[in-house]
Amino acid sequence: MTFDLTIPRSAGESLNLTVSVGENLFILGANGTGKSSLMQRLYTTHHANARWISAHRQNWLSSNAMDLSPMQKQNYESNIRSIDTNLQSRWKDDYATQRTSIAIYDLIDAENVRARSIADAVDGNNIELAKTLSKKDAPIKQAHQ
């Protein structure tokens, strides 16, 4: 899946970009040049298929344990998608803690899915598949001592 983005310029033709799923788009520029406005516009247009990461804000965790249930995650994601289309989300994030918890939840889930696929291959006596799957990078890598 790709997304065709049209970015208006102050003078001249618009900038047209195509971004594929899995690609990252980074916007750099001096203060006051419209980066937040541009990202707000792109996100509002494509919010169903985009993830907003607030890299310039400090994120805090409310505890040292994952205490987010699947239902809470689903509710938070729904609320976040709705809030992120508002103009004030350019400078205000009411869900910073929840975003961090969701990101950690997604990492743990991806790690569990990977581990289950390897275990299923072993249980099915398909050791070659298990070896192949185990060579793929894990979402959470541990440093080997």
Greater model confidence, 138 or 141? 138
Torsion, CA 53, CA 56, CA 62, CA 65, rounded to 10:
60
Residue 125 pLDDT > 90, yes or no?
A: yes
Greater model confidence, 2 or 118? 118
Residue-level pLDDT at 142 = 57
Report the candidate in 134, 63, 58 with the shortest Cα–Cα distance to residue 101: 63
Mean confidence (pLDDT) of the chain: 81
Residue-level pLDDT at 107 = 84
Residue-level pLDDT at 71 = 94
Residue-level pLDDT at 52 = 67
Q: How far apart are CA 21 and CA 33, in angstroms?
A: 27
Q: How far apart are CA 26 and CA 31, in angstroms?
A: 15
Using 50, 70 and 90 to split pLDDT, how confident is the model at 61?
low
Residue 108 pLDDT > 70, yes or no?
A: yes
